Amino acid sequence: MNTPDSNSVNNFFLNLQDSLCRQLAECDGGAVFTEDKWQRENGGGGRSRVLKSGALFEQAGVNFSHVCGENLPPSASAHRPELAGCHYQAMGVSLVLHPQNPYVPTAHANVRFFVAEKDGCEPVWWFGGGFDLTPFYPFEEDAVHWHTVAKELCRPFGEEGYPRYKKWCDDYFYLKHRNEARGIGGLFFDDLNEPDFVQSFAFTRAVGNGFTQAYLPIVQKRRDTAYGERERQFQLYRRGRYAEFNLVWDRGTLFGLQSGGRTESILMSMPPLARWEYDYQPEENSPEAVLTRDFLIARDWV
């Protein structure tokens, strides 16, 4: 089947948001998600859920949105000029997790679906998404686990999937103005519509459901690690890099802002606290130096 079923995708995304919030709140153990339901003036709406000041997460956000419109914003039509003037639907779930403990990595994931239609033409549709990890004090065994889960969830869909989407993630989550990676990557895919709708949707579901399998074991292993002011300040410094990427390079942020999305929900991904330091240089061979030297580079983990 190659006719897109938007209702099935919408229902999966709603259930995925519920599942993720339930698992993350249970893992946190000290706070719950609050919800804002919102409507977009130009069509559509969403549910924004945020957990603050928990036992584990300083801030965690899990958003669902389903927006529609008559004209695509420039960020979406720039590489597909034939879609200019189409009416469209864009829906998805995105999450960003900012733990309090610097030894627990920041994590991001999203899955999304897009369909554009013109009278008298076949609809143009695709899926996108992925997940990536941003450690501050990284451990090789955690990176291996993260990428092993990513590789295994890709395997049923072909051996070529993991290396392709792993490289795409490395290339996408890269701060060109800093000449450094945002983290250790994971999976990233976009424009997925092959071989057909059924398989593309199945892969998207595997990525959405697979995130907690990759992330929560790392959380449980690191959440009780003792830390001090040095580690906290370095975490805030690295969060500054995270903010730079989201504001300068992230296509999802640009699409949301250019399409008149809800600003509070779009910028939910920003860390609650961050800092910048002019020309910071970590002490040679320190844990902070090891992060940049050994982890913020493209490498094969599995």
Residue 289 lies in a domain: yes
Written as six digits, the tokens of 51 are 């957990």
Range of the structural domain that residue 158 is part of: 6-295
Query: Could you tell me the CATH number of the domain that includes residue 156?
Result: 3.40.1500.10
pLDDT at 43: 77
Residue 302 lies in a domain: no
Other Cβ atoms within 10 Å of 142 Cβ, number? 23
Residue 300 lies in a domain: no
**Number of structural domains, the chain?**
1
Residue 301 lies in a domain: no
Tokens 């995130």 found at: 211
pLDDT at 12: 98
Residue 1 lies in a domain: no
pLDDT at 245: 95
241 is in an annotated binding site: no
Written as six digits, the tokens of 148 are 């092993």
108 is in an annotated binding site: yes
- Picking from 108, 103, 271, 130, the residue whose alpha carbon sits closest to that of residue 183 is 108
Catalytic positions = 108
Residue 19 lies in a domain: yes
pLDDT at 41: 78
209 is in an annotated binding site: no
40 is in an annotated binding site: no
Residues of the chain with pLDDT under 70: 1, 71-85, 118-121
Enter the pTM of the model.
Answer: 0.92
240 is in an annotated binding site: no
